[in-house]
Amino acid sequence: MSDIDPGQARPPRRVRVDLPGRAYDILIGAGLVDAAGSILAERLPDARLAIVTDETVAALHLDRLTASLDAAGIAHAVVTVPPGETSKSFRQLEHVVDAILAGRFERGDAVLAFGGGVVGDLAGFAAAIVRRGMRFVQMPTTLLAQVDSSVGGKTGINSPRGKNLVGAFHQPDLVLADTSVLDTLVPREFAAGYAEVVKYGLIDRPEFFDWLEWKRAPIFAGGPERAEAIAASCEAKAAVVIADEREAGERALLNLGHTFGHAIEAAVAFDPARLVHGEAVSIGMAQAHRFSARLGLCPGQDATRVEAHLKAAGLPTRLSEVPGAAIAREVLMAGIAQDKKVKRGRLTFILTRGIGRSFIAADVDAAQIDEFLAEELAG
């Protein structure tokens, strides 16, 4: 059991995602797993819950969640999947969908994603397609999911041809981000989530990046700065989502580091022993700044500063830091060509003119990318 008494915990921070007709709250604070029953009974009255989780989260936290739901009289069933990126697959999607249907959950009931980004993406996609759309609640249990994948309505699974190529936009009804569960993350997973926190400063909030340079240590140590960083990240993402819900324009900025990063993940076959998502994004963000500097867009000292901060957080910034066999340039280029931002075969990257000055660069020369990757691999 948690040693946090929900009755004595600080009130959660609230971030509003004010989408027309589909607005929802993100609640951020300690003890929300234990308080989930009372919150959900008020927010989703009479809804039954199909809880989707993975084996790791279930062992650590599921008893607390179900006890809270039982105390509030909320009927629920649990669907468990294996941990890791391989669960974002057609096979596991079929498993989750079949369990929801077998449980006779109705459109007015809710799918509750209780886990990291993989669980959130998988469960959200199931919620989007079962009965042509069920209600959906996110309870992210990793830092990466709390600041990124649980917010904004992107759901989906991977294909052998690339990451996140099959999916749907399906906004949650509520996000409950319990900061106390982050204490159970291994340091590598927490650092991987921190890469996505840094991203918001690098997109268009240079003052947030400055603050992170000063506050990284207490964020990692679990001080009050942690909840502050999560709330600031959610506010940054919410602002972009409200402006461009379906990634027709500005929302593509949230993919800073992801075009390179997704290609790297695909190149290692999504093997978590070699690389996890946040680590790939860290390398990708460092590469986006180095490539921008190579083009004369970004000051070299900014690229160096970004790399230094990511390294200080224990994150990789170079392809040479990916363990295992060397990655072939041709494999990376093939992955980049499958990126979802590609339009009529033309490459689109998020580049930068400096820290907090990212922009969408359409029709990037593939030959320049190829030359840059050759240099990166040689170095």
pLDDT per residue as tens digits for the range 40-65: 999 999 999 999 999 999 999 999 99
State the catalytic residue, choosing from 88, 258, 274, 329: 258
Task: Provide the β-strand partners of residue 15.
Answer: 26
**Domain check: are 170 and 254 in the same one?**
no
- CATH (domain of 276): 1.20.1090.10
Q: For residue 289, indicate whether it is catalytic.
A: no
**Domain check: are 126 and 240 in the same one?**
no
10: DSSP letter: P
**Domain check: are 17 and 85 in the same one?**
yes
Q: Quote the pTM value.
A: 0.90
Q: Report d(CA 160, CA 178) in Å as an integer.
A: 33
State the catalytic residue, choosing from 13, 95, 251, 329: 251
Q: What's residue 8's pLDDT?
A: 43
**Could you tell me the CA-to-CA distances from 258 to 43, 265, 278, 300, 308 in Å, in that order?**
34, 10, 10, 21, 19
Q: What's residue 339's pLDDT?
A: 66
Q: What's residue 270's pLDDT?
A: 86
**Domain check: are 363 and 261 in the same one?**
yes
**Domain check: are 172 and 208 in the same one?**
no
pLDDT per residue as tens digits for the range 343-369: 556 788 999 999 999 999 988 989 999
* Residue where a domain stops, chosen among 184, 217, 232: 184
* Residues ≥6 apart with Cβ < 8 Å to 15: 25, 26, 28, 231, 234, 235, 238
Q: What's residue 340's pLDDT?
A: 56
* Residue where a domain stops, chosen among 132, 149, 184: 184
Q: For residue 154, indicate whether it is catalytic.
A: yes
Q: What's residue 85's pLDDT?
A: 87
State the catalytic residue, choosing from 61, 226, 274, 277: 277
Q: What's residue 330's pLDDT?
A: 94
Q: What's residue 345's pLDDT?
A: 60
Higher pLDDT, 4 or 334: 334
36, 139 Cβ separation under 8 angstroms: yes
Residue 18 corresponds to which tokens in the numbers above? 């004010």
**pLDDT tier at 6 (50, 70, 90 boundaries)?**
very low
**pLDDT tier at 163 (50, 70, 90 boundaries)?**
confident
Mean pLDDT over each residue of the chain, to the nearest integer: 93
What mean pLDDT is predicted for residues 188-207? Answer: 97
pLDDT per residue as tens digits for the range 242-266: 988 887 778 889 999 999 999 999 8
Question: Has residue 5 been placed in a domain?
Answer: no
**Domain check: are 308 and 294 in the same one?**
yes
Query: Which domain does 164 fall in, by range?
Result: 13-184
> Could you give the number of structural domains in the chain?
2
**pLDDT tier at 342 (50, 70, 90 boundaries)?**
low
**Domain check: are 208 and 88 in the same one?**
no
22, 171 Cβ separation under 8 angstroms: yes
Question: Has residue 131 been placed in a domain?
Answer: yes
**pLDDT tier at 1 (50, 70, 90 boundaries)?**
very low
State the catalytic residue, choosing from 104, 132, 207, 344: 132
Instruction: Report the share of the chain in percent with pLDDT over 70.
Output: 96
- CATH (domain of 160): 3.40.50.1970
**Domain check: are 211 and 115 in the same one?**
no
**Domain check: are 144 and 236 in the same one?**
no
Q: For residue 207, indicate whether it is catalytic.
A: no
What mean pLDDT is predicted for residues 135-159? Answer: 95
Question: Has residue 100 been placed in a domain?
Answer: yes
Question: Has residue 6 been placed in a domain?
Answer: no
**pLDDT tier at 278 (50, 70, 90 boundaries)?**
very high
Q: For residue 258, indicate whether it is catalytic.
A: yes
Q: For residue 164, indicate whether it is catalytic.
A: no
Question: Has residue 3 been placed in a domain?
Answer: no
**Domain check: are 179 and 205 in the same one?**
no
* Residue where a domain stops, chosen among 166, 184, 202: 184
Of the candidates 297, 311, 147, 293, the residue with the CA atom closest to the CA atom of residue 213: 311
pLDDT per residue as tens digits for the range 96-122: 999 999 999 999 999 999 999 999 999
Question: Has residue 7 been placed in a domain?
Answer: no
Q: For residue 277, indicate whether it is catalytic.
A: yes
**Domain check: are 101 and 197 in the same one?**
no
**Domain check: are 217 and 285 in the same one?**
yes
Question: Has residue 4 been placed in a domain?
Answer: no
State the catalytic residue, choosing from 85, 164, 205, 255: 255
Question: Has residue 198 been placed in a domain?
Answer: yes
